[in-house]
Chain A
Amino acid sequence: MGTLLRALNTTGIERFQGYLTDLRDGTPGDPPWELLEEMGCTAELPVDMMIEPPNFPNRLALGEYLCDVLAPLRPEETDRNTGLWAWLSLFLFDQVCPTGKHPIRRPGSDYRHIPDFGYRTRHRHLLYGPYQVYRRHGHSSILLLSGPVHSESRIYHDIAGRQDLIANRGVVEATAMLYLDRARGVPKQGAQAETASPGTIRRFVRVLQQLDVNYDIYGMSGKDIVTLLPSEFDAWRKQKRTRRASRS
């Protein structure tokens, strides 16, 4: 049967925001799920849609589900609709902010649950981000959207945070060719190092930004981009899976 998808209105968003603030202040409490159907806190969408989401094994499955379920809406009805994404976050709060080992949920910044569509934070919303990436790249975003629903990987952060890279299909393909452990569907070990050591994702981003000055990166396939990279990426080009996995 499912639940009728709605959008939080200004009042609903303020109350949800208040709950997030309480959590950060250390006040435990159940999510205000009653807001989801309260007429004074929500608004109808142009199309009636029922949703009954499963537990998502990763952000890729989440992105795919959201693209399916929101397909009846036009892009302008989803893309800057703060209330819609806030409603979805509250509805899926057990997945985007699970209790895990800690009795108190740790929501992080508001923009993870209530989108801020400024260019530095729009991709940080835990539902809108995967939705937008999957909508553009489909299953090619398998690496970027690996990992659990409630956290972003460094690879996602480094690529999705840069408009020129995330819009580029070749770059997303090349990222997967270099850093995806295809057998396990996760990043190869060491790819997401914090430092910009040779061949890591952070170096990949810097090298691409330099190559973009002189090469038509947008016109290239992932394969072309990979062949253009300097030798510091040789180890990743050759490696099909993480070193540990290949030894076993």
Chain B
Amino acid sequence: MIRRLNYTGRKKIPRSAITIRLLPTDDGGYAFAAEIDLSALGFPNDARVFIEAYNTASYMRFSFGTIATRRDPKDLRLVDITPRPLPKFRLKVVDQTTRHGLLLGVADKLVPLRPHEDIANKQSLLPVDFCDLGEQIWRLELSDWPLLELNNRIDAIGEAARSGDSFLALVYPEVLRRILNEIVVVLDEIDPEFDDSEWTSLWLRYVCSLPGVNEPPSGITEEAKARRSEWIDDAVQAFCRSRQARRRFETALSKDAG
């Protein structure tokens, strides 16, 4: 991963300062509502506040006035954003007193709450979205922030994903494996302390908190890469152990057998 320098002292806006919730619209799309509190961050009064919504190649930008005078746009419908994959958001505070707007603060990759989702899920490591996946049961979307998509054609899939023993034993280990592969092999990110607002760091921290899991091996040699694959295996094993995946799967099997 190429490191980028923050040479103008741009601030990181904590995720706790903003809550975004998707709202269904009559035409089957989404609008959104935003709660923002930037009062404690010391931005100049005339700095402009923007929220950007985006996914894959679609993008929209909304102006929320200035730090001193917030003006919510009248129309917050995401008309240019495709409903899938679930849109994400970015909050920006911009100094527009010069030709090239200088970023004073950013909160990036904000995952919105779905219309009736509990606020407790706001900072979920693995947000869930329900959509039509045809014959597929689940799908992992890895752009920007890992998102577990579940097939909304299946009744009670949400409950199964939340507390089903079979689901836990069969699906989540594979989800974890793919996420860790993306982080340590594809993105070459191994530092759990790199950035506490990046999903890569948050996932590494979570995995390293499991009993018996150390930080991923460093190094750029083939041997080091091989050790990372072994580390992923060990981490998935530790996850299964901590969740008692085998025992729970056996219990589920015996229930099925009647």
Name A's B-contacting residues (CB within 8 A).
10, 75-76, 79-80, 118-119, 122-123, 132-133, 136, 160, 163, 166-168, 206, 209-210, 212-216, 218-220, 224, 227-228
Tell whether B99 is near chain A: CB-to-CB under 8 Å.
yes
Flag if B83 contacts A218 (CB, 8 Å): no
The CA-CA distance from A166 to B57 in the complex, in Å, is 6
Known contacts A136-B57, A214-B10, then 14 further A-B pairs from the complex at CB < 8 Å, ordered by chain A residue: A10-B135, A75-B82, A76-B28, A119-B144, A136-B58, A213-B6, A214-B7, A214-B102, A216-B92, A216-B94, A218-B61, A219-B50, A219-B101, A228-B100
Flag if A219 contacts B58 (CB, 8 Å): no
Number of interchain pairs (Cβ within 8 Å): 84
Flag if A79 contacts B101 (CB, 8 Å): no
- Minimum C-beta distance from B1 to chain A (A): 11
The interface centre, meaning the residue of B56, B135, B141 with most chain A CB atoms within 10 A of its CB, is B56
Tell whether B257 is near chain A: CB-to-CB under 8 Å.
no
Tell whether B103 is near chain A: CB-to-CB under 8 Å.
yes
B99 touches which of A79, A133, A224 (Cβ 8 Å): A224
Q: Which residues of A contact B100 (CB under 8 A)?
A: 215-216, 220, 224, 227-228
The CA-CA distance from A209 to B10 in the complex, in Å, is 15
Tell whether B2 is near chain A: CB-to-CB under 8 Å.
yes
The CA-CA distance from A227 to B143 in the complex, in Å, is 30
Flag if A167 contacts B50 (CB, 8 Å): no
- Minimum C-beta distance from B101 to chain A (A): 4
Flag if A167 contacts B59 (CB, 8 Å): yes
Those of B51-91 within 8 Å (CB) of chain A:
52, 54, 56-59, 61, 82-84
Q: Which residues of A contact B84 (CB under 8 A)?
A: 76, 79-80
Tell whether B5 is near chain A: CB-to-CB under 8 Å.
yes
Q: Is the interface of A mostly helix, strand, loop or mixed?
A: helix
Q: Which residues of B contact A213 (CB under 8 A)?
A: 4-7, 10, 103
- Minimum C-beta distance from A188 to chain B (A): 25
Q: Which residues of A contact B135 (CB under 8 A)?
A: 10
- Chain B's closest residue to A214 (CB) is B8
Q: A76-B83, A218-B61, A219-B50 are in contact. Are A163 and B103 (CB under 8 A)?
A: no
A218 touches which of B7, B28, B59, B144 (Cβ 8 Å): B59
Q: Which residues of A contact B210 (CB under 8 A)?
A: none
Q: Which range holds the interface residue count of chain B?
A: 20 to 34
30 examples of A-B residue contacts, CB within 8 angstroms = A75-B82, A79-B84, A80-B84, A118-B142, A119-B142, A119-B143, A119-B144, A123-B57, A163-B143, A163-B144, A167-B59, A206-B2, A210-B5, A213-B5, A213-B7, A214-B7, A214-B8, A214-B10, A214-B102, A215-B100, A215-B103, A216-B92, A216-B96, A216-B103, A218-B61, A218-B92, A219-B96, A220-B100, A224-B100, A227-B99
Name B's A-contacting residues (CB within 8 A).
2, 4-8, 10, 28, 50, 52, 54, 56-59, 61, 82-84, 92, 94, 96, 99-103, 135, 141-144
Q: Which residues of B contact A220 (CB under 8 A)?
A: 100-101
Flag if B101 contacts A163 (CB, 8 Å): no
The interface centre, meaning the residue of A132, A216, A227, A228 with most chain B CB atoms within 10 A of its CB, is A216
- Minimum C-beta distance from A161 to chain B (A): 11
Q: Which residues of A contact B28 (CB under 8 A)?
A: 76
Q: Which residues of B contact A206 (CB under 8 A)?
A: 2
The CA-CA distance from A76 to B5 in the complex, in Å, is 38
Flag if A167 contacts B54 (CB, 8 Å): yes
- Chain A's closest residue to B10 (CB) is A214
B56 touches which of A122, A212, A218, A219 (Cβ 8 Å): A122
Flag if B58 contacts A167 (CB, 8 Å): yes
The CA-CA distance from A168 to B135 in the complex, in Å, is 34
- Minimum C-beta distance from A157 to chain B (A): 14
- Minimum C-beta distance from A150 to chain B (A): 22
- Chain A's closest residue to B142 (CB) is A119
The CA-CA distance from A10 to B83 in the complex, in Å, is 24
Flag if A215 contacts B102 (CB, 8 Å): yes
- Minimum C-beta distance from B12 to chain A (A): 11
- Chain A's closest residue to B143 (CB) is A119
Identify the 10 closest CB pairs spanning chains A and B, nearest first: A119-B143, A216-B101, A167-B59, A214-B8, A216-B94, A75-B82, A213-B4, A219-B101, A166-B57, A79-B82
- Minimum C-beta distance from B233 to chain A (A): 23
The interface centre, meaning the residue of B6, B8, B58 with most chain A CB atoms within 10 A of its CB, is B58
